[in-house]
Structure 1
Amino acid sequence: MSEKPLRLLVAWSPTAPGPEALECAAWLARTTDVRVRCITTLLRPWPSTSIAKLGSKYKKWIKKEQAAYEHAATRALEEAGIGSGARDKKVAVLSDGTNEAAMLSEAAAEFGADMIIMGAAATAPKGKFMAGTTADAMLHGSPRPLALAPRAPRLSKRGVTRVNFAYIGQETDPAALLRAARLATRWNVGLRILAISPNGFGVPPISDSLKLPVDFTHEWRENALAALDRARDEVAKAFPELGLETDLGSGTGWAGALDAVRWKKGDLLCLGSAPLGAFERVFVGSQTTEILKHVQVPVLMIPNGGQGR
């Protein structure tokens, strides 16, 4: 029995700085069966009481804007290569309110989205991801996986050809690895498990001695290799048919550490959230926030205990 289509909610506006979110959705559509719905938000600073006074006039205006957005979204999806069979019957939604992140989360819940796809901020350099205000808020509060598309990404015409899961320090939910493995199995692609760390011990600021930094580096490498072995064994036990590989990435800063491992156009990088306390909704920690600036492939952020497949 085949699985249900992956439901993708794409945060896209006709005034978006680029088509990255749509391109990422099209990339996933070349990988697996999907249902795509676009959403844009209308942020209104005025209170609901003011809207109530406008009554039917405001409703008519919203209805007109919704129709225009549906038309624009349909055309944009066609241009991105997302055919009618991959689009949801309700192809586009215009949501108005006072909090964009809350509107996206509510729309994702209503759609039953498996992923929310967001593009990079207008200021992001080519090939890199920088979070805008709304994306940053979603990173720190979304209960559903977020797919983040870098600016002008280079994507394989064959879709996702390899899923990567990266350990970065201690900010990782162990269950996220198995969710990444489940995706790789579903898409019939391999899984690469990575340990990423900047060697960042560099030259001591006072002493000329390199013994302590070298000791740290050796200790990190030994711990990383042991962690990768454990992770490989855990995934192999749960998904015995899955093709697995492991790699270490260490270099100067996060950019150097990421560049130390080879990336392909078909790579999707998965990152897990930190397993935080019951009353904390923080989704990503400082290490994850920093690493996102240097990633050149689409990233799937898997929330701790979040929803989605």
Structure 2
Amino acid sequence: MSGRNAMRVLVGYSPDDRGEDALALAALVAEAAGASLTAAHVYPPPWPAHGPGRVDAEWVAYLKSQADEALAQAAERLRELSVPQERLTVRAHPHRGSGRGLAEVAREVGAGLIVIGSAPRGRRGRIAIGSTADQLLHGSPAPVMLAPRGYAGNAPGKLERLTIAYWRRRDVEGPLRTAAEFAGVLGLPMRLLTLVLRPPGLAARFQAAGGVLERQAAQADEDLREAAGFLGGGAPVERLTAVGTGIDKALGTVDMLPGEVLACHSSHDAPLRKVFLGESSGKIVRAAPCPVLVLPRAAGKAQVR
């Protein structure tokens, strides 16, 4: 990262509640990072009509005017959220897939982060993955941050901490350092979290179940110590192990600050430097009670700009 003012945040906006949630979170990120902010609205391109290459000019004009109106609303709202006019731009982009369209805009503007809201069907305070998120979480060129449903109505005054959901694997060092760079840009303390999953009914079936869990927790703590060592040299990193019968139950035991952000890794099968949501990360996204940052699998430095 070359400095706090070098980061550019791209926020995907639609004129509905999920768009408001995305704007509220993006404004907090931009304020914490001193970042430039681009609000983008992806609208459908027209279908060809009356022969190859011909489209209805009136329909094209209507689609573009609707996009411009949405972006005017987004810009007004961001100004209300104290985003300086000189650091704010808007972009209307035609594409049949809203997530893929946002990925194209991210490449064009050099965004280091894409912020979107939850699909509207989700529970309040949780994240549901709709088509936009699904497209971004399976091929975004930049990290993706998702706001829970209803975030705008109860947004904190500021971001307070970055908790990193950590599990040991061969290529974890890159995403871990990316998360640390995000924490540095946002000025947030870090916490490393490992989830130890207990099969349902384990204690009833095995007398030695307590010992098994103790060993798992001890190994998790050792893994967290090693992970903290990757980050070395900075402020002390809090470490926490949570136990539950599933990811949702384990996460439910973890105290979260009002301004918490939870980071998780892409699947280890992901292409380098692209986001690709795996099974465990997907469960974390859906169970988290706070915004979630999904990091790309990367071998080197973070691509936060």
| TM-score, scaled relative to structure 1 | 0.85
Contact 2:112 2:142 (C-alpha < 8 Å) held by counterparts: yes
Distance verdict in 2 for CA 1:145–1:49, change over 3 Å: farther
**Structure-1 residue corresponding to 2:135:** 137
Question: Are positions 1:64 and 2:59 aligned together?
Answer: no
Q: Is the 8 A contact 1:13 1:40 kept in 2?
A: yes
Aligned residue for 1:271? 264
Deviation at 1:85, TM superposition (A): 3.5
What are the residue-to-residue correspondences of 1:1-309 with 2, within 5 Å? 2-17=3-18, 19-44=20-45, 46-47=47-48, 52-54=53-55, 57=58, 60-88=61-89, 91=90, 93-153=91-151, 154-157=154-157, 159-168=158-167, 170=169, 173-199=172-198, 201-203=199-201, 208-211=204-207, 213-236=209-232, 240-276=233-269, 283-305=276-298, 307-309=303-305
Aligned 8 A contact 2:12 2:40 in 1: yes
Partner Cα separation in structure 1 for residue 24 and residue 271 of structure 2: 36
Secondary structure in 2 matching 1:4: helix
For residues 14 and 212 of structure 1, do their structure 2 counterparts lie closer, same or farther at Cα, with a shift above 3 Å needed? same
Shift of 1:71: 1.9
User: Structure 1, residues 195-243: CA drift from partner, whole Å, max 9, x if none?
Assistant: 12332x1215xx953236445423321220110110112212xxx2323
Alpha-carbon distance between aligned partners in 2 of 1:162 and 1:228, rounded to the nearest angstrom: 17
The root-mean-square deviation of aligned C-alpha atoms, in Å, is 2.9
Q: Secondary structure at the match of 1:30?
A: helix
Counterpart secondary structure, 1:40: strand
Distance 2:228 2:165 in 1: 12
Q: Deviations over 1:61-81 (max 9, x none)?
A: 455344323322222223334
Mapped to 1, the partners of 2:30 and 2:19 lie a distance apart of 19
User: Partners in 1 of 2:251 and 2:107 — Cα distance?
Assistant: 33
- In structure 2, relative to structure 1, the CA distance for the partners of 1:51 and 1:84 (3 Å cut) is farther
Encode CA deviations 1:230-273: one digit per residue, 9 max, x unaligned.
0112212xxx2323111111123222211222110121111111
Q: Hey, what's the Cα distance between the residues in 2 that align with 1:51 and 1:308?
A: 42
Q: For the residues of structure 2 that align with 1:114 and 1:106, how far apart are their CA atoms?
A: 13
Q: CA deviation at 1:277?
A: 6.4
Q: Please give the per-residue CA displacement for 1:127-165, whole angstroms capped at 9, x wherever unaligned.
A: 1111111201211221210011011234431x2221111
TM-superposed deviation, 1:40: 1.6
Which secondary structure does the structure 1 equivalent of 2:108 belong to? helix
Letter in 1 for 2:16: T
Matches of 2:68 and 2:267, distance apart in 1 = 41
Q: After superposing the two structures, state which structure 1 stretch, 161-170 or 242-251, moved more.
A: 161-170
Q: Which amino acid aligns with 1:195?
A: T
In 2, are the aligned partners of 1:254 and 1:291 still within 8 Å (CA)?
yes
Whether the 8 Å contact between 1:172 and 1:272 is mirrored in structure 2 is no
Supply the distance in 2 between the matched residues of 1:111 and 1:277 (Cα, whole angstroms).
Answer: 23
CA distance in 1, matches of 2:176, 2:239: 13
Change (3 A) 1:278 1:134: closer
For the structure 1 residues 40 and 186, does the alpha-carbon distance in structure 2 shift closer, same or farther, using more than 3 Å as the test? closer
The TM-score normalised by the length of structure 2 is 0.86
Q: Structure 1: 5+ residue runs without aligned partners?
A: none
Contact 1:129 1:150 in 2 (8 A): yes
For the residues of structure 2 that align with 1:282 and 1:190, how far apart are their CA atoms? 24
Contact 1:69–1:94 (Cα < 8 Å) also in 2? no
Note if contact 1:143-1:307 (Cα within 8 Å) is conserved in structure 2: no
Matched-pair contact (CA < 8 Å) for 1:119–1:150: yes
The residue type paired with residue 156 of structure 1 is: P
Q: Secondary structure at the match of 1:129?
A: coil
Q: Is the 8 A contact 1:171 1:285 kept in 2?
A: no
Deviations 1:265-291 (A, max 9, x none): 121111111222669977121111112
The verdict on how the C-alpha distance between 1:212 and 1:45 changes in structure 2, with shifts beyond 3 A counting, is farther
* Gaps in structure 2 of 5+ consecutive residues: none
Change (3 A) 1:171 1:103: farther
